[in-house]
Amino acid sequence: MKIRLDRTMCDGFGMCAKHAPSYFSLDDWGYASLVGTGEVPEADQPAVLRALLDCPVHAIIDVAGGPIVVPTSAPIPDEAPEPHPETDANEAEWGFVR
């Protein structure tokens, strides 16, 4: 995988540096720069792919142009499910009035 970063599109959301900090650095204003040549070894591809997919302005481009294959073996962080809000039991507590 080889990536390129179009800095003219970057809006400084910082998702890339969060997911793949060894490939993206942020300047003082939060805009990203590519670290290195853009070559991504297979071991790092899940994190870089996550950065590519999460960039809201599509500033990260896979220049190899191959199909994007989302690895199914990539670990998914544990997230506790949102608690289902009760309605009857906690209406008084939350101050709802029907």
Interface residues toward ligand SF4, by CB under 6 A: 5, 10-16, 24, 32, 55, 57, 59-60
CB of 46 to ligand SF4, least distance (A): 16
Going 93 to 78 to 10 to 66, the CA torsion angle's sign is: negative
Q: Fill in the DSSP letter of residue 47.
A: H
Q: Which is nearer to ligand SF4, 12 or 71 (CB)?
A: 12
Q: Which is nearer to ligand SF4, 11 or 91 (CB)?
A: 11
Q: Which is nearer to ligand SF4, 9 or 74 (CB)?
A: 9
CB of 21 to ligand SF4, least distance (A): 11
> DSSP readout, 56-89?
TT--EEETT-PPP---TTSPPPP-PPPPPPPSST
